[in-house]
Structure 1
Amino acid sequence: MVVTFMTLIMTKRMSAIAALIAVPIVFGLIAGVGPGLGDMMLEGVLQVTPTALMLCFAVLYFAIVMDAGLFDPLVRRVLAAVGEDPVRISIGTAVLAMVVSLDGDGTTTALIVITAFLPVYRRVGMNPLILATLLGLSNSVMNFVPWGGPSARAATAVQADLNQVFLPLLPAMAVSLSAVLVMAWRFGLSEKRRLAAGAPLVADTTAGAQAASLTELQQDTSARRPHLFWLNLILTLALVLGMLLSLAPLPVLMMGCFAIALTLNYPRLKEQKERLACHAENVVNIVVLIFAAGAFTGILNGTGMTDAMAKAALSIVPPSIGPLLAPIAAIVSMPLTFVMSNDAYYFGVVPIIAQTAASYGITAEEIARASLMGQPVHTLSPLLAPIYLVCGLLRVDVADAQRFSLKWAVLTSLIVTAAALLTGAIPLAGDGFALPTK
């Protein structure tokens, strides 16, 4: 069933949503559990309902405050601060990408950052591949937030609490984001030396390309509410603080803050309908995917398939390395997420790893965190649409972007993995592991 599901979505014969529902139903019927499929699916859906609820209102909340212009002053200040110094420009690119990535939408982040910085890169003569790299690294680490796609998928796949998956990762995120800033400083310094020496780009990726026309990327300014900037900022900071302190369940926090933001920024009913309609597609895609995943995992668990696969995996996993499944999962997430879509990886592979690791005292939350470590590499996957969007806007070749960014993506994945191990977010070893003695 898992192989069929992965094959169908990777060959694009079915959408992930349709495959998550249809494939387990077919195999459940083959397994002879037809009468119980409905209850299994409903149980799985009920388990993911809080996650779907939180994602729905998180996407809407950040879309509303972004439409209102929450990040506009930051964009202006960053652009004013960087001037034409390559070092400042590189660091400013990373900082802006990190902050804007709070909304959990990589496409929106790409549009805002590229719209703001591509004219600066072209004016100064900097390599646009640096912009692409810093954008991808910053966004991939920030996407660990609960409303980011990878975290939601990982938690849903192993039926773990999303907040418990995310919060222990905060120190590792801080370390890896600091590392990205160091990389940005290094990029800027290298470009500053190259420009001072008058050296051309090693690979002239902008040769023959006209300056990108970014006017079509500008968002609708009629939705801006600059006079409400401070209220939106205070509300967003209160939301983040409430999440960190666990003042209320995450879905409740998101629902409450969304209601306040929508009413505050767009008090007229017509305006509210317009804003909701603008972002309805993103919300529907995310929520339907989570519910479909719930049905998939419900059948996978209810029929006993997960237990059977875990037992089969246990039979071939040497007992000596079984307790090390968490760091192993973190390392293999890099190549696996590069050649697989997030849906195929999180719903097809991660549950099997989690079930197997449970036999060695490794919790589902720990495996969910480990499965996120390869996300910086995943951003370069040829299976992803955003990489083509970014490269198209920058007028660079996808292969050039992958070659330039891959080593930095691998390094970022290794740094966040090491930080997660050192801070205990990922255990080095589960129960029953002992160092060999003489």
Structure 2
Amino acid sequence: MIALVGFVTFILIITLLLVFKVSPVPVFIVVPALGALMIGVSPVEIGSFIGDGILQVMDVGTLFIFAMLYFGIMSDAGLFDPLTGKLKDMAGSNIVLVTIVTVFIAMVSHLDGTGASTLLVTIPALLPVYKKLQMNPLILLLIVVMSAGVMNLIPWGGPLARVAVVLDIDPSALWVPLIPVQIIGIAAVLLTAIYLGKKEKKRIKNYSIEHPSEASEANLELASSVEQEAEVSGDADLKRPGLWWFNLILTIATIVTLIFTEIEISAVFMIVFALALVINYPNGKLQMERMRAHASEAFTLVTILIAAGAFLGIVSESGMVEDMTTGLISVIPEAIGPFIHLIIGVISVPLLMVLPPDAYLFAFVSLLVEIGAEHGVPATSVAYASAVGATISGYISPLVPATYLAIGLAKTDLATHIKFSIFPMWLLSILLLAACILLGLVTI
């Protein structure tokens, strides 16, 4: 009963989000609460579960607020203007070069294994470039999350570290055989970026031919970084060219701190935001204006995140996720037992749209390991098949907080991101699974 209600709850949530495009906030709060009531959970317990879930996402919420405020201030002050100008000059009309550069920036910034820092380093810096060249920002988001997904196979990344705990082995022992798979993944992402770049270049060219007046107007609107930033920030006088070097050094120091230290990320952004605001805009009235200019977007994103925390708290604490996991395993026919790891590997991306990563990588994978052992499937084979999909789907799942950071920075919404990105990312996960099979890491 609990498992059935859990599946209905998840299916209803995804349907409301993707098909009917209902706001995530009421969906994440009302639907799981009703599901919990149906399985006998009291209102008092639901309130407690919601509180526990919110506590789990508060650190991420704090990060979202201050990171978005910080990069908003940097954008106001004109930090990214020279970068976007030079990238545009370097690329010229070569849209493909921009997509390739996106891959390398995202992969290098993900060497720390932290999705939040990758998104914060890559998207705010490159989004103005994409807008100037009239490129679809969803392409930027897709390339970044695909790049981060492939790089997330490193031993200090989330999925591999989690399955290593399940198997009780060193994550590095799992990672070393995966290096060729990772190289294949990098090549696949680069080819995807080239394909998307060529396709986007053709789209822009055709649009310019079919709608010359509209294209001309768009070019005029995006002709200079000052005009573009003024549209976002409201006033070109907000530029601080005399503080450009200070802002650059502060941002580089922030990135270095994120990658090479263990200081809490949210604390880092709280400090650098305060410094950036006071030094760039000493006037108290102007400080409040700048905060209000960017607070609306941050507030909306954090509201969704808190609602997602409430959802995760309810479905986890009520036992829905645990019973769903057990229920999925129990309905697997005996005949497909020897191939269950392959099946799960193929469907892992859509599966992780309804299963939280921790539930999948700990509870679900541990049960798969037991089933595999009964049919002579090595535990490492199960681990590789399961982890590949988990690492790729990390930034499209509505159950992963970093997904909301990604869509917030890219200024899009969850449904649009999922519809645009899920199939390319699913194909990438299947490609990596096939590479694991060919290299003998996953048995057939």
- TM-score normalised according to structure 2 size: 0.62
Matched, 1:275 2:290: yes
Check whether the contact 2:105–2:122 (CA below 8 A) recurs between aligned residues.
no
Counterpart CA distance in 2 for 1:21 and 1:189 is 42
Where does the alignment leave 5 or more consecutive residues of structure 1 unmatched? 119-127, 146-153, 155-167, 193-199, 338-344, 376-383, 390-397, 423-427, 430-434
1:246-295 deviation per Cα after TM superposition (whole angstroms, max 9, x unaligned): 33112212222222222222222222211211112221122111111111
Check whether the contact 1:59–1:283 (CA below 8 A) recurs between aligned residues.
yes
1:19 Cα shift? Answer: 0.9
Identity of aligned residues (%): 27
Counterpart CA distance in 2 for 1:369 and 1:320 is 23
Query: What does residue range 355-374 of structure 1 map to in structure 2 within 5 Å?
Result: 355-360=363-368, 368-372=390-394
1:185 Cα shift? Answer: 6.6
1:14 Cα shift? Answer: 3.4
1:406 Cα shift? Answer: 11
Matched, 1:328 2:349: no
Structure 1 residues 15 and 293, CA gap change in structure 2 (3 angstroms): same
Partner of residue 22, structure 1: 30
Check whether the contact 1:322–1:357 (CA below 8 A) recurs between aligned residues.
no
Partner of residue 78, structure 2: 69
1:23 Cα shift? Answer: 1.1
Structure 1 residues 102 and 236, CA gap change in structure 2 (3 angstroms): farther
Where does the alignment leave 5 or more consecutive residues of structure 2 unmatched? 1-8, 107-117, 151-158, 160-174, 223-227, 231-235, 370-382, 398-406
Counterpart CA distance in 1 for 2:323 and 2:18 is 24
Check whether the contact 1:225–1:265 (CA below 8 A) recurs between aligned residues.
yes
Check whether the contact 1:176–1:412 (CA below 8 A) recurs between aligned residues.
yes
Pairing partner for 2:39 from 26, 31, 44: 31
Query: What does residue range 146-165 of structure 1 map to in structure 2 within 5 Å?
Result: none
Query: What does residue range 313-324 of structure 1 map to in structure 2 within 5 Å?
Result: 313-317=328-332, 318-323=336-341
1:42 Cα shift? Answer: 0.7
Structure 1 residues 14 and 91, CA gap change in structure 2 (3 angstroms): closer
Partner of residue 90, structure 1: 96
Partner of residue 132, structure 2: 116
Matched residues, number: 353
Pairing partner for 2:320 from 305, 313, 322: 305
| More off after superposition, 366-375 vs 40-49 | 366-375
Counterpart CA distance in 2 for 1:257 and 1:213 is 37
Query: What does residue range 140-289 of structure 1 map to in structure 2 within 5 Å?
Result: 140-141=145-146, 204-210=206-212, 211-214=215-218, 215-216=220-221, 218-220=228-230, 221-289=236-304
Counterpart CA distance in 1 for 2:279 and 2:229 is 20
Structure 1 residues 24 and 242, CA gap change in structure 2 (3 angstroms): same
Structure 1 residues 371 and 297, CA gap change in structure 2 (3 angstroms): same
Q: Which amino acid aligns with 1:22?
A: V
Structure 1 residues 190 and 32, CA gap change in structure 2 (3 angstroms): closer
Partner of residue 155, structure 2: none
Structure 1 residues 12 and 190, CA gap change in structure 2 (3 angstroms): closer
Check whether the contact 1:373–1:416 (CA below 8 A) recurs between aligned residues.
no
Check whether the contact 1:9–1:15 (CA below 8 A) recurs between aligned residues.
yes
Partner of residue 374, structure 2: none
What is the RMSD computed on CA atoms of the aligned residues?
Answer: 5.0
Counterpart CA distance in 1 for 2:291 and 2:183 is 33
Counterpart CA distance in 2 for 1:322 and 1:409 is 21
